[in-house]
Structure 1
Amino acid sequence: MRKMLDIQKKLVPDLVQVLQKRYDILHRIRVSGTVGRRTLAASVDLTERTLRAELDLLRAQGLLEAGTAGMTLSDAGKRLLEEMEPLVKEMFGLADLEEAVRAKFGLKQVVIVPGDSDDSDDVKRELGRAGSRVLRHVLTPGDVVAVMGGSTMARLAAHLSVPSPLRDNWFVPARGGLGESVDYQANTIAAELAKRTGARYRMLHVPDHLSEEAYQSIMQEPNVREVVDMIRSARIVVHGIGDATAMARRRKLDADTVQEILRDGALAEAFGYYFDREGAVVHRMATAGLRLEDIEAAESVIGVAGGHSKGEAIAAVMRFGHDDVLVTDEAAAQEALRHA
């Protein structure tokens, strides 16, 4: 594929430019869902006259549908975009970046979307879409999937779709989540994933952090124990990655605990554990749900996180060494490599 692209760039450079322009148009419409021509023209930096000609061609090819609210992708357009992604990654140099990150951290697979999630909600949505595709590809009948909470996981859930219902599958929260925004709780995300796939789900109605005494007590409850046992048997784990300070405060840890975590060198948070820059666990809180040994035993661990501000945190969690797949964006990938 690369050799063919190099030949095309030399012999027919305008062909590559046209391909990239039309891909940008289709991609922008997919990200927006439905978009008017004026807004679209501004986002792809084309005049309305030039864009009108391109849209007419794409619509004649059956790739677009026009409605009163604007342009949307047809099913054929959505399929074409997915088929084009390997080619476009070669054009943008993302394939090389994916391989560099994969090799540096010893991962099975790395998927990178263009852009920076810190600067664009569109990139955040693409990150969720890419994460949902990875999850869809690793799902097999009968799987138990444990999912963490957070805004990235919520976007992943919003994009997951399967060709037929997964009636034998279970989605479960990786840990308790009371105390976070309801939309971003692991319970909510597990339920949404189940609804979108026709699978089943269980909820874990316990606080995210517990005292040791409360933890020992709550684990004696048969209903809690049953859900926790299912969570700890998960074949697939899907999680986000956060900055240690931001996550500690979001989880409403007291100031003394936050200072203790930072003194210990915590840089990143994932699965409810705090990691230093070398990927060592420096802090954990008693919580019902996944333990490190359960993550190590899972067959597929998928990390989904983006934004240049998370690059160093992503590098720290990847050094921990138990992720199989990383889904991230271009800016975070470059930062992760820089800190590696």
Structure 2
Amino acid sequence: MTDLHAEYAPAAPPAQLPRQPLRLSCVVPAYNEQANIEGFLRALAQTVRALTPDFEIVVVNDGSRDATHELSLRLAQELPLRYLALSRNFGKEAALSAGIDHARGNAVLLIDADFQHPLEMLAEMHELWQSGYEMVYGVIADRAAESGAKRMGTQLFYRVMNSGSSVKMPPNAGDFRWMDRKVVDALKALPENNRFMKGLYAWVGFKTVALPFVPKDRAAGSSSFNLRRLGSLALLGLTSFTTLPLRIWSMVGAGISLLALAYGLWIAIEALFFGNPLRGWPTLAASIMLFSGVQLLSIGILGEYIGRIYEEVKRRPIYLVAHDEDRSPLREHEREPS
């Protein structure tokens, strides 16, 4: 194991009975991946066949506006494919949830369709699963290719999340992971609609191990995750797994109140004992503007949490499936406990 393995991996899992023969479900979310989808699915099928003859590929089309739909339907005639087309773009978290909900294997692989997740790591993931680990996840070992703003934002996000939540998320871990059926069933049992998957993976626990990797360049096209969408995802994670923003703003409010009280006492003492006339109209105006801004920001932070509550109580489905092309060789009744 590399140093990064040692950094993230817990103690080796206890000896256990041999697992059932591998029946693998590969969940592949896709959004506007017409340039990659055919080559990737064929390469994925070839790689997985070396591990087991019993597998399915669950492609989740998250409202693509290109030819991803037509290509996936054609590939379903040739590959052991289950193709789910969502009714619109619900986001990657919902697409992953849809794939997890429909996966039938006793192990589930989550992998992107853009070739950035290395297929050559699947054999090692399989070995670790066979040895007793219940979740094997990829950790990005080198972010040098990313912009400085994205690297700084990522570091700040994980620092805030891990300091304000009892659930510790490993930094730089993503959606590239291999999960045992018991982990999949635990994720399916979680009821929330606002799903921040990286947090949910950490929350369910189980025996986990990290595998460091360097993301490859996209074979074609460009990522749909811009800074705005990444910021929205980070905000979802913060409001789903930590109340640290509320606690920080409570402390800010308490600090400003103490400063205002001290300043008021100083003005009273200065007027009573030194006879100085009451001055400070500019200071008063600036103070009013400051406190107004603080109040509005506080209301905004509260509103984010209330908005999450509002979304949850409506109990709308996480996603809607518009088309389900089921050519998978795996069937529900074949599933056995691992």
Q: TM-score, normalised by structure 1?
A: 0.25
Q: Which has the larger radius of gyration?
A: 2
Q: TM-score, normalised by structure 2?
A: 0.25
